[in-house]
A and B are shown apart, each in its own frame.
Chain A
Amino acid sequence: MTDLSAEIIALSDEYVLGLLTPTEAALVEEIMARDIELAQRVGDLRDRLLPLDLSAAPVDLPEGFGVQVAEQLANKDQLPKMQFAGVPTEKPANQPAAPKPWLAGMLAASLAGIAVGFGVAWMQPAPAPKVVAVLMDAQGVPQAVVDDYGNDTATVRFVADVPVPADRSLQVWTLPSADMGPTSLGVLTGAGAAQLSFDDLPDPSAEQLYEVTLEPLGGSPTGRPTGPIIGKGFAAEQT
């Protein structure tokens, strides 16, 4: 069970009230999906606030409403189901950005307050990251968050369940400049929170690309991303 930070709990309260932006709400939902404690907190507050919904004067449904809904279900149900959030996409790593890069930026910007103390005790006292990047899969679902502190240190946290086969590793990358090309920030055996330290990279800047790929055990043999992208996103500068 995660040690939930006060910030995440406060965000989840605002989530129940309907005060979050869609991207913030998506993040809370992702965390709820893997953290039963947070899901229970949300459910509990919802239930306690329910009397406020029950004070609305009931309104009769128009005639045939149920039939209309049933027809809509029958039509819309033919649409393909959304891909499960945790399934790695089969896109090669060199394909262009995720569908909504601006979304990642917005989410990262709104995460400024969450970046510190996310149940990661060893980060205390928490310095402020220079940039935060939210890495999303091809469906725009947040998978991981990278906080880059400059001085060749960064942390990565996963906000979705990312399955990693026993013979594979996760690898975190960034693109400091077109000249340098994709550069490894570290290899992980599983989708857990990790501190990354690396050598001699320029300090991160806004809009810098970060991504996590699935690679052969021990990391990419070529020094460049070769496997499917788990998530990618652009850095938002923290002020």
Chain B
Amino acid sequence: MQNLTVALALPRQAFPFIPTGLPITVWEFREESILAKDTDADARSTLLSRALADCAAGNQAGVDAILESEGRQLLGVAQRILARRDLAEEALQDAMLQVWRKAKQFNASSGSARGWIYAILRNRCLNILRGDKRLSTLAPADLATLQESRQQIVPEEGWEILAGPSRIRDCLGGLDSQSRHAILLAHVAGYSHAEISTRQDVPLGTIKSLIRRGLQALKECLS
């Protein structure tokens, strides 16, 4: 409950990255995540594992079940990384195709179905940002807007909202602010080493070792 209070008590100005024209659904998320107790999480994980088994067996009901359960959140993740609705929908569509194709490779003994699905979506988003030529089809002004929005994803202050009321939040809180910011830029905003280096104005090699050390400390704290 304390986390909730902190998150909501932060002044609106702490989040200049939220475009004022868009509905702010942070409230809704808070409510969901606090309700998401273990039983809920278990039910969800059973549902998603079964959905992946369906996909592996060639049954499209698996895809429907994933979209039903996670679709809005997955699209939210894609929208946050890509900062454009059309790209986000494209990414989710491509990701579902990959989930369908790769479902046979999912192995429940190495991580949750949920984590696996989100990882596929994030990879697809990163490919759009870096790998393929998708961004070059945007008009220069649109590209500039996109890059500008991506600058705002991870705020210097008020980063706590990105971690929700979770263990990871405490552990991130224990890192030095530069490592923490770099890790959040990578995971939440999909920044590359080079982008983080530019953003923080720190040499590439320094950023790489900063992130490695930060991740090491983070994993020790989490385990």
A residues neighboring B (CB under 8 Å): 10, 13-14, 16-19, 22, 25, 32-33, 36, 39-40, 42-62, 65-66, 68-70, 72-73, 76-77
Contacts and interface: CB of A to CB of B under 8 A. Distances in A.
Nearest to A43: B111
Contact of A18 (B33, B85, B105, B187): B187
Nearest to B192: A19
B75 interface: yes
Interface string B2-25: 000000000000000000000011
A73 B33 contact: no
A58 B110 contact: no
Contacts of B85: 59
Contact of A54 (B33, B93, B211, B216): B33
Interface centre among A57, A61, A76 (most CB of B within 10 A): A57
20 contacts: A10-B216, A13-B215, A17-B211, A17-B215, A18-B186, A22-B131, A39-B111, A40-B110, A42-B110, A46-B111, A47-B111, A48-B219, A50-B112, A51-B33, A53-B118, A55-B29, A55-B188, A58-B29, A69-B97, A73-B96
Contact of B111 (A14, A17, A42, A54): A42
Nearest to A60: B72
A56 B187 contact: no
B122 interface: yes
B164 interface: yes
Q: Which secondary structure characterizes the binding site on chain A?
A: helix
Interface of B: 24-26, 28-29, 33, 60, 63-64, 67, 71-73, 75-77, 79-80, 85, 88-89, 92-93, 96-97, 100, 105, 107, 109-112, 114-116, 118-119, 122-123, 126-127, 131, 161-164, 166-169, 183-184, 186-188, 190, 192-193, 211-212, 215-216, 219, 222
A31 to B, nearest CB: 13
A14 B100 CA distance: 25
Contacts of A33: 105
B166 A59 contact: no
Given A58-B72, A69-B96, A13 B192 contact: no
Contacts of A17: 183, 186-187, 211, 215
Nearest to A10: B212
B111 A59 contact: no
B99 to A, nearest CB: 10
Contact of A65 (B71, B109, B127): B71
B60 A55 contact: no
A168 to B, nearest CB: 27
Contact of B25 (A49, A50, A57, A65): A57
Given A52-B164, A59-B79, 14 more contacts: A18-B187, A32-B110, A33-B105, A36-B110, A40-B111, A48-B168, A51-B164, A52-B163, A52-B168, A56-B73, A58-B28, A58-B29, A61-B72, A69-B97
